[in-house]
Amino acid sequence: MIQLPPAKAYIFDMDGTLTDNMHFHHEAWMKFIALKKLGIDAVTFERDYHKGTLIEVMARFFPHLTTKAELRAVGNEKEALYRDTYGHLLEPLPGFHLFLEQLKAKNIPLGLATMGDQNNLELTLKQLEITSYFHSTTGGDQVTQGKPHPEIFLRAAEKIGIDPNDCLAFEDTLSGITAAQAAGMEVVGISTQFSQEKLLELGCGVALENYENILL
């Protein structure tokens, strides 16, 4: 059994943390780039473009678009492509439903802090059948600065009324881990992107493969 650090609330990232779906997002991005004839390869995309909010990413792709409404509209095209192609394939990581039931029994408030937009957020929670467990959700369209900035974790903690220092964050990416740490939270790393050893090197207090065998 793995012992988690004590906390008054848990705040989860979504993609790659609740479900192993980051490869779906990557494939959707590559399809979008091809459809728009942007001529950007996967390495360049990950290195130079895939940072921050969806609007920030789209501004790098389409510098001629000058308003948030225009950038949001083209961003919505990519997110719709992701949902339509891969949404039905989403599954929770092993042990996650039981883990949520255990948290519910202990009355531990749960928040969600994802850079995904509201449509992705709602689809994912519905597909995983976990909507009712979360006391609040915060999506990327509710913040002005994306991870690794701590804004989204600070906002999530504010929504559930718990000091960020008393929250435990669950994350899978470097930007997410950095954001949660900057918000003052201890981090549990989920090894869908990095090995458990690497997650510990990045400063996670605990690294998990999934949500089985957790001791609260």
pLDDT digits (tens, 9 = 90+) for 23-72: 999 999 999 999 999 999 999 999 999 888 899 999 999 999 999 999 99
pLDDT > 90? residue 215: no
Contact 75, 52 (CB under 8 A): no
- Provide the pLDDT for residue 173: 96
The arithmetic mean of pLDDT across residues 156-183, rounded, is 97
Burial of 70 (0-12, 13-18, 19+ CB in 10 A): middle
CATH of 2-20+91-215, one of 3.30.2130.10, 3.40.50.620, 3.40.718.10, 3.40.50.1000: 3.40.50.1000
- Provide the pLDDT for residue 22: 95
pLDDT digits (tens, 9 = 90+) for 107-139: 999 999 999 999 999 999 999 999 999 999 999
- To which residue do tokens 């029994």 refer? 105
Would you state the structure tokens that stand for residue 75, as one six-digit string? 């961003």
The arithmetic mean of pLDDT across residues 167-189, rounded, is 97
- Provide the pLDDT for residue 5: 93
- Beta-bridge partners for 19: 15, 92
d(CA 216, CA 204): 17
Radius of gyration of the chain (CA): 17
- To which residue do tokens 């804004």 refer? 151
DSSP annotation string for 159-185: HHT--GGGEEEEE-SHHHHHHHHHTT-
pLDDT digits (tens, 9 = 90+) for 73-109: 999 999 999 999 999 999 999 999 999 999 999 999 9
- Provide the pLDDT for residue 203: 97
Residue closest to 130 by CA, chosen among 152, 98, 154, 157: 98
- To which residue do tokens 């290195």 refer? 47
The conformational region for residue 97 under phi > 0 = left, psi -120 to 50 = alpha, else beta, is: alpha
- Provide the pLDDT for residue 135: 97
Q: How confident is the model at residue 216 (pLDDT cuts 50, 70, 90)?
A: confident
